[in-house]
Amino acid sequence: MNVLVYGIAGTMGKIVYNTLKNHPTAKAVCGVDKFANQADFDIPVYTDIKDVKEHVDCVIDFSVKAALPDILSYCTQNNIPCVLCTTGYNDDEIASINEASKSIAVFRSGNMSVGVNALVKLVKEAAKLIGMASDIEIIEQHHNKKIDAPSGTAIMLADAVKSQMDNLEIVNGREGICGKRTQNEIGMHAVRGGTIVGKHEVLFIMNNEVVTLKHESENKGIFAEGAIRAAEYLINQPAGLYNMQDMLF
């Protein structure tokens, strides 16, 4: 499998590039990054995806949401599947991803780790069992370079709760005289500092007892491994929208 690594000069892009060096069945054939130094890579790296000349089987993207239109037009024009790992998309951007998935295979997940996706399943189960009796709060913690909040994973976890319960709305942080908590809230809290790779906790707070489901990422390699596994899965799928739940469970 020939992979184009989009955002190759970034933290995650470099990890994907290095992971692919030792991969038995996939290799990076080129990269794209607005701010890359070609000397850091032994494959061609472009500043514009339109200039790519290599044969590409799949794009793996860890970059910024502003790159989405370029990635989707390259992939739809050339009929190439893409794994979108970038987070922070708004509703219009998600709509453009859905539209592209009518003609190409698109994989999107706010978190590419196996453990987090197992957590999503456990959160759905807990929401089914005790959600109605609980106040549900989500706390996420990340490094001080993260540019979006709440994290894509926290949103996935909130969506997992919402899939089991009606009329819930996300309340991001609380400040001032914000009034009493209602039963219709999922409270979201973002902690930022140092080099924390990613911690997520979902609290089901009942009267006199709390159930906490928690995941901690120790190393960013888990996201690169998951993205490459997703690419291998995706190149054998028809056009459509896929996520980690489809691939794993």
Reduce the secondary structure of 83-112 to three states and give it as a string: EECCCCCCHHHHHHHHHHCCCCEEEECCCC
Q: How many other CB atoms are found less than 10 A from the CB of residue 211?
A: 13
Beta strands in the chain (DSSP E): 2-6, 27-32, 45-46, 58-61, 82-84, 105-108, 135-142, 169-172, 185-192, 198-206, 209-217, 240-242
- Please report whether residue 32 would count as binding ligand NAD according to CB under 6 A: yes
Which residues are CB-neighbours of 164 under 8 A, at least 6 positions away? 124, 127, 128, 131
What would the two tokens of residue 61 be?
């993207």
Check if 146 is active-site: yes
CB of 111 to ligand NAD, least distance (A): 4
Q: Does 64 bind ligand NAD (CB under 6 A)?
A: yes
Restricted to residues 70-89, the positions that interact with ligand NAD (CB under 6 A) are 85-88
Under rule CB under 6 A, how many of the chain's residues touch ligand NAD?
Answer: 25
The CA distance from 80 to 105, in Å, is 8
111 near ligand NAD, judged by CB under 6 A: yes
35 touches ligand NAD by CB under 6 A:
yes
In whole angstroms, the minimum distance from the beta carbon of 73 to ligand NAD comes to 13
Given 29, 30, 41, 63, the residue binding ligand NAD (CB under 6 A): 63
- Binding window for ligand NAD (CB under 6 A); candidates: 50-58, 103-111, 122-130, 170-178: 103-111
Q: Supply the DSSP symbol for 34.
A: T
Annotated active-site residue in 14, 142, 162, 200? 142
Q: Are 60 and 35 in contact (CB under 8 A)?
A: no
Judged by CB under 6 A, the stretch of 11-19, 120-128, 170-178, 229-237 that binds ligand NAD is 11-19
Considering the complex, state which of residue 40 and residue 169 has its C-beta at the smaller distance from ligand NAD: 40
**Interactions with ligand NAD, residue window 148-187 (CB under 6 A):** 152
For 122, list phi and psi in degrees, rounded to 5: -65, -35
**Which residue in 34, 143, 146, 199 is the catalytic one?**
146
Instruction: Assess 33 for contact with ligand NAD (CB under 6 A).
Output: yes
CA–CA separation, 224 and 239 (whole Å): 23
Residue from 41, 46, 62, 89 that binds ligand NAD (CB under 6 A)? 62
Is 110 a binding residue for ligand NAD by CB under 6 A? The answer is yes
List contacts with ligand NAD (CB under 6 A): 7, 9-13, 32-35, 62-64, 66-67, 85-88, 109-112, 152, 223
